[in-house]
Amino acid sequence: MQVNKLLSMAALCGVVGHMGCAAGPSAQCAEDNAGLTLPEGFCALVVADSVGPARHLTVAGNGDVFVAVTGRRTRAGDGTPGHVLVLRDSDGDGTADVRRTFARGRASDVRFHGGFLYYSTATDIVRYPWAQGEMEPSGTADTVVRGLPPQRGHWAKTMAFDANGALYVNIGSITNSCQVRERQNGARGHDPCTELEGQAGVWVFDADRLGQVQDDGRRFATGLRNTVALATRPQDGLLYGVIHGRDQLAQNWAGLFNEEQGAETPAEEFVRIEDGDNFGWPYCYYDGESGVKVLAPEYGGDGSERGRCADMKDPLIGLPGHWAPNGLLFYAGDQFPERFRGGAFVAFHGSWNRAPLPQGGYNVVFVPFAGEEPTGEWDVFARGFSTDPPTLAGPHRPVGLAEGPDGSLYISDDAGGRIYRILYTGAR
């Protein structure tokens, strides 16, 4: 664990012109790394705390942090609405001392693209004109896409852009496995699953066209249960995601799966998403132990039969089951050592259904690449967000990932509302 590590903000300013750095003091990592355990040479600090349920985030060229805060609901129907939160460190000490909020809605994601800030809610994607260095929009919002499904189930609408002006949007499934009786013991699946017509895939839209509805876009890939972790890789321009695997194999099909199998399978799938791909949900799931896709029990599978799943696209690698991948970032900076450049960070929100095994996830994993392909290995980069052993009642749950202009890694948390920043201070 790194203690009292300092990163010279003056040095960073000389490279990126970080706001407020010229006369400000050095940013100091927390003595306990904000509770995180990190690899040797890395340290962490808290940019802001208790900001509300912070989902995805992005960092502007001047270092301002933009966070989609999803808001809180209560049984009485009140609470706080979702919004965009802007955080600025005006004196360079590493902690945000200026805050602004704007926008309303069940916030999911924020991204800069083409001089605009794009903001997604459960149903809509809007964009605000943005002037570099400002903390508020330079004009009113325009609707890019409206009326997206579903508003229940897997509601999060994460976004990714490519260099050709395409806007990719995750539209998750409503259900777990498209059963005729949702999440009920032994219930068969709809065949065909009509959810696939409008959900459980990635849709592509024109990022610069206003007033679109879902039918104005097209389904880019299908059979993805819920791909909240979605990003284009700067090194190759291709689209990638990490899919939430299905739940309740053992709970709903006890005659076929024991509790340990239900906890460990299916794997979360790290995938490259190309035009026309079919990843097989709900008919198939990826068995991380056997390394193949097998037929789901709702469609006659027994845990080993492949059937139609032999024709579905496999992941690049499988990651532990039920860890709930919510954030994906390909590292493009040069602050971190060479090993990290071009590789992927994945933020795991944490499990709820691995019983009787301990819950898992609640961490940030690193997946190294060698050229254009992952090496097949992975390791936990940051842990300590939750309790030990981790539980749903833990204080923090990672969601979003962003890279700062200096190459720092930012992490959002929708349990405690904390924004972390990770720096590298060791030898390269």
Q: Tokens for 354?
A: 């691995």
Q: What is the pLDDT of residue 25?
A: 39
Q: What is the pLDDT of residue 49?
A: 97
Average per-residue pLDDT in the chain? Answer: 91
Q: What is the pLDDT of residue 78?
A: 52
Ranked by mean pLDDT, which of 103-107, 182-186, 410-414 comes out on top?
A: 410-414
Q: What is the pLDDT of residue 79?
A: 58
Ranked by mean pLDDT, which of 143-152, 322-331, 385-394 comes out on top?
A: 322-331
Top pLDDT among 73 and 202 is at 202
Eight-state DSSP code of residue 34: G
Contact indicator for 110, 56 with CB cutoff of 8 Å: yes
pLDDT of 177 higher than 50: yes
Cα distance between residue 328 and residue 242, in whole Å: 7
- pLDDT band with cut points at 50, 70 and 90 for residue 296: very high
Q: What is the pLDDT of residue 6?
A: 44
Q: Which of 424, 427, 428 is nearest to 38 (CA)?
A: 424
Cα distance between residue 131 and residue 116, in whole Å: 8
- pLDDT band with cut points at 50, 70 and 90 for residue 7: very low
pLDDT of 145 higher than 80: yes
The single residue listed with the structure tokens 């706080």 is 80
Beta carbons within 8 Å of 335's beta carbon, 6+ residues apart: 406, 407, 408, 423, 424
Q: Is the dihedral of CA 171, 174, 176, 177 positive or negative?
A: negative
pLDDT in tens, 78-90: 556 799 999 999 9
pLDDT of 4 higher than 70: no
Q: What is the pLDDT of residue 357?
A: 86
pLDDT in tens, 211-244: 999 999 999 999 999 999 999 999 999 999 999 9
Q: What is the pLDDT of residue 75?
A: 52
- pLDDT band with cut points at 50, 70 and 90 for residue 18: very low
User: What are the start-end ranges of the E strands in 2-158?
Assistant: 6-7, 27-28, 42-48, 54-59, 65-69, 72-73, 79-80, 83-88, 98-102, 109-113, 116-120, 125-129, 142-145
Residue 243: Cβ within 10 Å count: 31
Bridge partners of residue 69, in order along the sequence:
54, 83
Q: What is the pLDDT of residue 1?
A: 34
Q: What is the pLDDT of residue 391?
A: 85
Percentage with pLDDT > 90 across the chain: 83
Domains of the chain: 6-424 (2.120.10.30)
pLDDT of 176 higher than 70: yes
Bridge partners of residue 146, in order along the sequence:
none
Contact indicator for 306, 299 with CB cutoff of 8 Å: no
Cα distance between residue 280 and residue 88, in whole Å: 43
Concatenated DSSP letters of 290-352: TTEEEE-GGGT--SS--GGGGGSPPPSEEE-TT--EEEEEE---SSS-GGGTT-EEEEE---S
Top pLDDT among 111 and 16 is at 111
- pLDDT band with cut points at 50, 70 and 90 for residue 171: very high
Kindly state the average pLDDT of the residues 90-119. Answer: 96
- Alpha-carbon separation of residue 21 from 5, 61, 321, 333, 410 (angstroms): 18, 13, 43, 19, 18
For residues 143-170, b (16+ Cβ closer than 10 Å) or e, as one string? ebbeebbbeebbbbbbbbbeeeebbbbb
Cα distance between residue 140 and residue 367, in whole Å: 39
pLDDT of 22 higher than 90: no
Q: What is the pLDDT of residue 427?
A: 62
